[in-house]
A and B are shown apart, each in its own frame.
Chain A
């Protein structure tokens, strides 16, 4: 149960590692709710600059794991640190299952909301520049309720980039979007987040195969992590990329219970 998986740098198309890059070291992480053990002794190391996708069925404990990594929940035992042994607080940006835009702030104010929350002066020019990069320059003054699901998710990506944290944690960030919008947002996210350390959880094998350098399957009760599956090729990969199709098939087999439930 305590097997350690050290994930190497992605071999192909290795993203540039800036000075700000930092990895994630999860060691001996245990989470219990009363007598129920969600997971015990989890170990995972995410190398700086790599994009790791955690896959699993609903209720296996993926979200709990990500919340602990994000510092939003406490584990029963174990620790999560950067490669240098520091705590992750201040190093992570978080994207939730919905866009989490504040409905009373316009798009530009949502992008700079971190500064507002920390009591810093919002950098409006930087926000507008980021909105340009996600293709929302002309909607800076709009309220979130006036945007489509895809546009809201673009705004959320701009907000994540504004935070400029070396580690990005994503909890099924695109699951609310339709298939085709999701594919476009995935392309955008892969392009804009490249170079950062990313840990994403999803239950969509296609999403995992398109975006991840390494895929880790979380399964069982209590949950354990399977050996990492490395997907070759630069991201975002085409949906019909042979590597994507092959790995997707493999994941389906791993995640679908053999016996009848």
Chain B
């Protein structure tokens, strides 16, 4: 019941927004190269469906690979800085530095190093993702309930066993929060990469459409990108809920 009403609420909000948009373009007669109406965007989406589909596949591939590598890297860094004080001292400044430099500024360099293909976009996505995952996971690992650890020690658990059976499961909810953030921001990295230099993907479509003042195509690509991001987030959220069945409801459902 609750999920249906949530979905219908989203539909009502979206159609209300579309109606406002349509009315606005009608009464202001703003030129369509500035703001195309919803109808012409839908038209562009349908006309360019093949291009949109294949571009979305490319961008999704970059986002997915970036998410996977970024998550693994984030998990590894999280473990390292929690369990090795030496690593924390030497790695932490580097991690912070990687976040202090805006990815936008790095993008041209990454394209130069990794080429116009998917690799530079994946690296970009990894760069935006891994830090939230590292920070959330490290935080979760550090906050393990002292009592649970003490109990495990009195039960003669080895440190490896404590890590596997106590610290990792206890840190999973925090790791999940990091992953949710990562799923939401991963497309940003990929799109920035495509803007700076690419030959495929939704960012490439947008850039081309912008240059040709095909604003309706640009909006259509933007629409596809948002749908992709939302679906990705919802899937990640659902999987996390399934895995973290024991955590009392944490975030609002979509």
Interface residues of A (CB under 8 A from B): 67, 70-72, 89-90, 92-94, 96-98, 100, 102-104, 113-114, 116-119, 143, 145, 163, 169
B150 touches A70 (CB 8 A): yes
Report the stretch among B12-20, B61-69, B71-79, B159-167 that lies at the interface. Answer: B159-167
B162 touches A117 (CB 8 A): yes
Quote the shortest CB–CB distance from B143 to chain A (angstroms).
Answer: 14
B246 touches A94 (CB 8 A): no
B147 touches A92 (CB 8 A): no
A113 touches B150 (CB 8 A): no
A104 touches B246 (CB 8 A): yes
A70 touches B147 (CB 8 A): no
B161 touches A118 (CB 8 A): yes
Quote the shortest CB–CB distance from B145 to chain A (angstroms).
Answer: 8
A116 touches B165 (CB 8 A): yes
B169 touches A113 (CB 8 A): no
Give the number of residues in B that approach A within 8 Å (Cβ atoms).
21
Main secondary structure on chain B at its contact with chain A?
helix
Quote the shortest CB–CB distance from B217 to chain A (angstroms).
Answer: 48
Quote the shortest CB–CB distance from A105 to chain B (angstroms).
Answer: 8
Residues in A with CB closer than 8 Å to B213 are none
Quote the shortest CB–CB distance from A159 to chain B (angstroms).
Answer: 9
A102 touches B153 (CB 8 A): no
Instruction: Give the 3 A-B residue pairs with the shortest CB-CB distance, closest first.
Output: A117-B157, A94-B154, A114-B155
A145 touches B248 (CB 8 A): yes
Residues in B with CB closer than 8 Å to A72 are 150, 153-154
A94 touches B169 (CB 8 A): no
Residues in B with CB closer than 8 Å to A71 are 153-154
With A94-B151, A116-B165 given, name 11 new contacts (CB 8 A).
A67-B150, A70-B150, A72-B150, A92-B154, A94-B150, A100-B147, A100-B148, A113-B155, A117-B162, A117-B165, A145-B246
- Chain A residue at smallest Cβ distance from B160: A119
Asked, given contacts A103-B246, A145-B246, A163-B155, whether A117 binds B161 with beta carbons under 8 Å apart, the answer is: yes
- Chain B residue at smallest Cβ distance from A118: B156
Asked, given contacts A71-B154, A96-B151, A117-B152, whether A102 binds B161 with beta carbons under 8 Å apart, the answer is: no
Residues in A with CB closer than 8 Å to B153 are 71-72
- Chain A residue at smallest Cβ distance from B247: A103
Across the interface, A102 reaches (CB within 8 A) one of B148, B150, B154, namely B148
